[in-house]
Amino acid sequence: MSDSLRSQMPGLKNKFYFNYGGQGPLPSQSLNEITKSWQKIQELGPFTSNVWPYINKEIIKTKQKLAEQFGVKPKYISLSENISTGMILPLWGINIDRGDELLISDCEHPGVVAASREFCRRNNLKFRIFPIQKIKFLDKKVIINELEKYINKDTKILIISHILWNFGYEMPLKEISIELNRLQKKPFLLVDGAQSFGHIEINEKVKFSDVYAVTSHKWACGPEGLGAFYVSERFIKNSNPTIVGWKSLKREQGIYEPHENLFHNDARKFEIATSCIPLLTGLRQSISLIEKDCSGFKKHNLITSMSNKLWNHLKEIDKVNLIMNNPIQNGIVSFDIKDIDDKNNFVYKLGLKNIWIRVIEDPQWFRVCIHQMTTEDEIELLVDEIKSIIL
């Protein structure tokens, strides 16, 4: 980590921050780019033929940047607003047959779980849960063995996070997709990338999914209100857009006439209507800044060495129960503390010292996120303050 990235983040100046998986700090340069883009749109337009080439270029540049991150072609990327829309819009577009089942892990975000449940209720699908939380000593083989117990000839959809938001385990997407492809229905694999994008390299992994949703505002440190999702070719062919708007359409002329297929034959069929263009340059800027600071193996090693430093310190504290038994492979460290009933009050007490972590609600675990901007001093301070509250 270079000091220059940290110094560009006003959000990190006056606090000790460990909530990157909730929302990342926005660099000043990204904010400046957003403001400049907003000004440019006013100078050129806002609704004139002069502004459209600029807007189109912004969309193309952003999809290209995301395509590089995802390791897929830009035509498979749809722009959205956040993770939830990136997961739920495609989910609700899947064509269902009688008897189909939806399988979802027990480590998913409440919004995605609720949307999946409601989708099943309205479409008469069986809603099934794939339990991961209680598996001790997780590894690829164990995950696949467990998965085999829950998939069957009726499984149509599997919903899973790439990195589990509640305790940070990284799911083996390749092995999971191989397993799914053996089944009669070749179930769609919908992946929640909330905790992976901007945190770990995903470009060799996205292609194993049918839908892979990300957001700008977490580990990628971009603005809130912007997300994106990948959809596979077979998903595009075998689904319908959920909310239809002018952006979903191949063309706007003759729309009152009957049509075989009104919609784009690529990921744009899931896009809806007017969106906030200035945010796009903000995300591109944040991605570039973060990559320039540190990427690839170097970033992975930096983040995991700091996570394990915290993990080892916490292991020494009697009352602390670490959720991952093995050393950590990324920047998420989750734990529980014996005899603390009001966990939100514990977080509040740390907050009084300007240290920010969070409680995951179900099950109630503390979650600390470590990014490339995190310093060793911050980790030492966090450990000292945890000890001073509980000992």
Ligand X SMILES: Cc1ncc(COP(=O)(O)O)c(C=O)c1O
In whole angstroms, the minimum distance from the beta carbon of 19 to ligand X comes to 10
Q: Check residue 247 and give left, alpha or beta (phi > 0: left; psi -120 to 50: alpha).
A: alpha
CB closer to ligand X, 91 vs 383: 91
Q: Which of 215, 239, 248, 372 binds ligand X (CB under 6 A)?
A: 215
Task: Give the Cα separation of 275 and 47 in Å (integer).
Answer: 14
Give the C-alpha separation, 240 to 151, whole Å: 25
Please, which residue, 93 or 168, has the CB nearer to ligand X?
Answer: 168
Q: Which of 143, 158, 160, 194 binds ligand X (CB under 6 A)?
A: 194
Kindly state the smallest distance separating residue 227's Cβ from ligand X, in Å.
Answer: 6
The 3-state secondary structure of 59-85 reads HHHHHHHHHHHHCCCHHHEEEECCHHH
Closer residue to ligand X (CB): 108 or 378: 108
* 166 forms part of the interface with ligand X (CB under 6 A): no
Binding of ligand X at residue 195 (CB under 6 A)? yes
For 239-265, the DSSP string reads B--SS--GGGBS-STTTTS--S--B-S
Indicate the residue among 83 and 310 with the shorter CB distance to ligand X.
83
Distance of closest approach, residue 334 Cβ to ligand X, in angstroms: 12
Among all chains, which residue has been given the structure tokens 């001073």? 388
Q: Is 109 in the site for ligand X (CB under 6 A)?
A: yes
> Which range in 106-114, 183-191, 235-243, 266-274 contacts ligand X by CB under 6 A?
106-114
**Number of Cα atoms under 13 Å in the Cβ half of residue 88:** 19
- Does the footprint of ligand X cover residue 165 (CB under 6 A)? yes
Q: Which is nearer to ligand X, 58 or 192 (CB)?
A: 192
Q: Least Å distance between CB 262 and ligand X?
A: 28
- For residue 155, give both structure tokens: 């499984």
Establish if 225 lies at the interface with ligand X (CB under 6 A): no
CB of 81 to ligand X, least distance (A): 8
Helix (H/G/I), strand (E/B), else coil: 190: strand
Residue placing its CB nearer to ligand X in the complex, 187 or 227: 227
Query: Of these, 11, 45, 111, 363, which contacts ligand X (CB under 6 A)?
Result: 111
Least CB distance to ligand X at residue 362 (A): 13
Q: Which two tokens stand for residue 164?
A: 């589990």
Would you count residue 84 as binding ligand X (CB under 6 A)?
Answer: yes
Cα–Cα–Cα angle for 98, 101, 105, nearest 5°?
165
**Closer CB to ligand X, residue 249 or residue 369?**
369
Q: Which residue has the tokens 């085999």?
A: 148
Q: What does the chain come to in residues?
A: 391
83 lies in the binding site for ligand X (CB under 6 A): yes
Is 78 an interacting residue with respect to ligand X (CB under 6 A)? no
Tokens standing for 61?
Answer: 């540049």
Backbone angles phi, psi at 366, to 5 degrees: -80, 140
Contact range with ligand X by CB under 6 A, out of 9-17, 107-115, 228-236, 373-381: 107-115
**Does 82 sit near ligand X (CB under 6 A)?**
yes
Nearest distance from residue 105's CB to ligand X, in Å? Answer: 11
Q: Counting contacts by CB under 6 A, is residue 161 touching ligand X?
A: yes
Half-sphere exposure of residue 17: CA atoms within 13 angstroms, side-chain side: 22
Render the burial of 231-262: b for 16+ CB within 10 Å, e for the rest: bbeebbeebebbeeeebbbeeeeeeeeeeeeb
Q: Which residues bind ligand X (CB under 6 A)?
A: 22, 82-84, 109, 111-112, 161, 165, 192, 194-195, 215
